[in-house]
Chain A
């Protein structure tokens, strides 16, 4: 499979993602510069973490208007798989490919730690190799991960099973104490209504191989591959 990883000025997890795609998953990773205008030939796209454009104005707000984004929006609208990790999630929100917005963490600090998330929906192209209710331990590293959306949109996300990951404790209970950044409804990751675009704040690429003590992130990349190979039918 050909996986395109978009490189914005200030991206800093692009090579980590490329490493996982190629060295761990055995696929072809293609770094695509943000000034490019095409994602032709790619089977899936990853928007990596980092600080695109220095997080100026709002996180993701300037990257969202990079030349490559038109191609990504078109790719997503055609049903192509798009995964946004951390800053990539923020860019997807600014681009309107996912609903809602990010606020500053309630504690104001940049948080860099491991967080437990529960798989709320294991029937997506990004979680089909997980089990519903499974607890993953994934690193988070952000200052603006406090997901917010209006009550009507939140109800729609809940009703359509668009909330894919929620912050929880080790036992899988979603509590206020296990919510690191103040996200509404403990949201750590959501998908779009069609199901082909996912954004999450945690970094699965930082824990996806045996050399680390933790390989919990592997299942997300595995899920994408399974979806691309047709083992799990893509949502209509």
Chain B
């Protein structure tokens, strides 16, 4: 089964990378862009298991390694079983 994990900076944490991307988009004429936040997306292949069990694994992986809870939030989804 396959899962996707999204790691993003917490609200209120300054994201200079997102700001640079936003400015570049403005330069290209996409002036409607009001804010950009850059995060990470991880695609994880898991051995088949119950969805609930997979979610427990994913949460634990995020808390232990994939996200730094001081500065980042995470969410995950099972995309195929």
Contact = CB atoms under 8 A, between A and B. Distances in A.
B68 to A, nearest CB: 5
Contact of B65 (A65, A101, A106, A148): A65
A192 interface: no
Given A103-B14, A148-B13, A108 B68 contact: no
Contacts of A149: 70
A100 B70 CA distance: 6
A57 B74 CA distance: 14
Contacts of B16: 103-108, 182
B20 A148 contact: no
Interface string A93-109: 01000011101111110
B63 interface: no
Contact of A103 (B13, B65, B66): B13
Given A57-B65, A65-B65, A182 B14 contact: yes
What band does the interface of chain B fall in when counting residues whose beta carbon is under 8 Å from A?
10 to 19
B81 interface: no
Interface in A84-121: 94, 99-101, 103-108
Given A103-B13, A107-B16, A108-B16, A57 B71 contact: no
A52 to B, nearest CB: 14
Interface in A60-99: 61-62, 65, 94, 99
Contacts of B70: 99-101, 148-150
Interface of A is mostly: loop
A30 interface: no
A58 interface: yes
Contacts, number: 33
B20 A61 contact: no
Q: Which 8 residue pairs across A and B have the least CB separation, nearest first? A: A101-B70, A101-B71, A106-B16, A101-B68, A108-B16, A104-B16, A58-B68, A108-B20
Interface of B: 13-14, 16-17, 20, 65-66, 68, 70-71
Interface of A: 57-58, 61-62, 65, 94, 99-101, 103-108, 148-150, 182
B80 to A, nearest CB: 24
Contacts of B14: 103, 106, 182
17 contacts: A57-B66, A58-B68, A61-B68, A94-B68, A99-B70, A101-B71, A103-B13, A103-B14, A104-B17, A106-B14, A108-B17, A108-B20, A148-B13, A149-B70, A150-B70, A182-B14, A182-B16
A33 to B, nearest CB: 22
B53 to A, nearest CB: 23
Nearest to B40: A57
Given A61-B68, A94-B68, 13 more contacts: A65-B65, A100-B70, A101-B71, A103-B13, A103-B71, A106-B14, A107-B16, A108-B20, A148-B70, A148-B71, A149-B70, A150-B70, A182-B16
